[in-house]
Each structure stands twice: as C-alpha cells, then as structure tokens.
Structure 1
Amino acid sequence: MSPAGDEPLPGSDGAARERQIEDLYAAFHEEVLRKATTAAAGCTADAWDATQHAFVQAWQHLRRDDIGNWRGWLVKTAVRHVVFHRRRHARQLPLHDTDPVDSQVLLEDHVVVKETYQDILGAIGRLSERQRQAMVLVHIADCSTAEAAADMGVSPSTVRNLIHQARARLKSAIGEANHD
C-alpha cells in the first residue's frame, strides 16, 4: 500500500511485497513481540516499538536473498532495537504497563503462572543494564557471545561473565519469590 494506505505501491512487485510483509507479520509478529517484551523487562511500549521497527526493517530488506531465516532475523532486529534504545536512554523503567493481576477469582494454576511471569519480568528488570543486555542478546535474540560482545563493545569473556552473574541473580530472585 502507499503511505496513505489506499492503493498498492507502484510497480509490478508492489503487491507481491505487500503480501510478503503481511505473511511475515502474520507468521512471526506474536513471537517477535513476546521476545521483545521479555527483552524490555515487560515494558510493552518498548516492545511494540521494537516490533514495529523490525517489520519496517523487514519491508526495506525484502529483496535481500541472504536472509533465509526471517523469524530469527526479525527477533534479532527487535531485541537489538530494545537493547540499543535502552542504552541511548539509560533509565530504570517501571513495570507500569505490564498486565495487572486480575481481581477476578481465577483458577489457582493460572494465578501461579501469571505471578511467576511477573516475578521473572521483575527480576529481569532488576538486573544491571549490561547483564540484561548480555542475557537478552544471547538467550532471546540467539546471538553468539561473539556477536553480543561486538554489539555491546566488550570481549566475549565479559559477555559470558555477565550472563553468569545474571543467571545467578535471576536464580536467587526466582527462588526468593517462590518462598514468599
């Protein structure tokens, strides 16, 4: 569609590109958004922004033949957007826009799952910025430690150390939350 959204893009492949991006969005937007939300420690505004950024980049790269795994490419693009955005705007974001605990009586299993999810997001949000970046790039965006190190401007051993520290903090935080 045109920027106004009312007519196909000019050229013979405009409609085909539209179908391609619509197919990519239908297939992967939920997973990309979910992983971006985790990378953003539950901040859905940042996650939606990163997801939108990833699909805009996909639109611009549709003609590239070297992207064989669009799912992985979209996830990495969105997660890197979160990491770099947060690096530029270093601040602690409150988890105001995460799903609130429902006041309705729910089945106990659903409540436990939701509380565990919120505990995990809270624990991720309490990691240091560098620990969170390393965890997100390696475990959510599926970057190698070398790729994560290049993105963060540190050595691969520093990335491994940050991940080790983050895992220990998350394990401790989740364990404490389960004992409450």
Structure 2
Amino acid sequence: MVDPLIEKAKNGSEHAFRMLIEMHKQYVFKCIFGVLRNQKDAEDASQEVWMKIYTSLPQYEHQGFKTWMTRIAVNHAIDCKRRKARQTEELVDDLPVKESQDVVERRLLRKEQKQLVLSHLEEVPESYREVIEGFYIKEKSYQELANEQHVQVKTIETKLYRARLWMRKHWKEEDFI
C-alpha cells in the first residue's frame, strides 16, 4: 500500500517531508544512538541521515519505509563510527606503539559487531535474547551462563546454536558487514 505522505514527500512537498521527520525522528535517533552510543554524535548523525533520506527519497520503491529508513540510519552511523575510529587510529599512530595494529583492529571490529548485535537484539525471540547477550555482548563462558540460568552447559550450547540459526535466517548479512 502506498503511503500518501511518502508520495507527497517524494514529489517534493517539504511539508510532507517535515511531517515524516516529526513522525520518525525519535526512531531514527534511537537507531543511530544504538550504534554510536554518544548523544552529540547521534544528534549530528541524525541531521545527516535526514539529508540522506531526503536526497534518496526519489529512489524509494515502497518496500517498507521504516526498514528502508533504518538501513540508511544504521549504515550512516556505522560509517560515522568507522570514521571516528580512523581518526582515533591516526592520533594513536603518532604515539608510541604498544599494541599491534591487528589487535587494535580486531578490538574495534568486535566492539562494532557488539553494537550492531545490541541494536538488533530486540528483534530476537526472548528465549534466545539472554544467552546471546550473555555470550556475545558480556563475553561470558558457557559455564558462567549455565550457572546463572541454573541449567546444564549442553542447554546453553543448544540455545546458542538455535539462536545463531534464527539470526542467520532473520538478519541480513549486509547489515553486519
């Protein structure tokens, strides 16, 4: 079904686009904040995302506006985070090297992946959410998770296996690259 407000915005109505912003600005901010975890950076990125949405609107093909908008917001936030990481690396390059660049890169990628998983965690069925958060985000061992949940380690292994299957089936790979 074609949303008339989106159609008006696509056809150049600034008023319709302002209404879209009002309707979705909190959601877009939350998506961006979920990746950046910094109020000021998320506010700045939100402004940039709305500009991207405005310029990309003619290419929108009515296949889930919220999903389309989310993809733009999250991808932009990831780009911002990478840009900031590169700037930090440049500053670190000027300092004496204590860690190899590979270690720093792996740490940054792991942190970035954690943020992506966190931003998508609400989509995961509740039965898997706790084990995913414990293992991937809090980096707990199978044994620690089993002790916390008062279950056998094999139960945790099974839950993680099923959670991974669910994630592969429901999450698009390009969202996590």
Range of TM-score over shorter length? 0.3 to 0.5
State the TM-score, normalizing by the size of structure 2.
0.46
Larger radius of gyration between Structure 1 and Structure 2: 2
Higher helix share: 2
State the TM-score, normalizing by the size of structure 1.
0.45
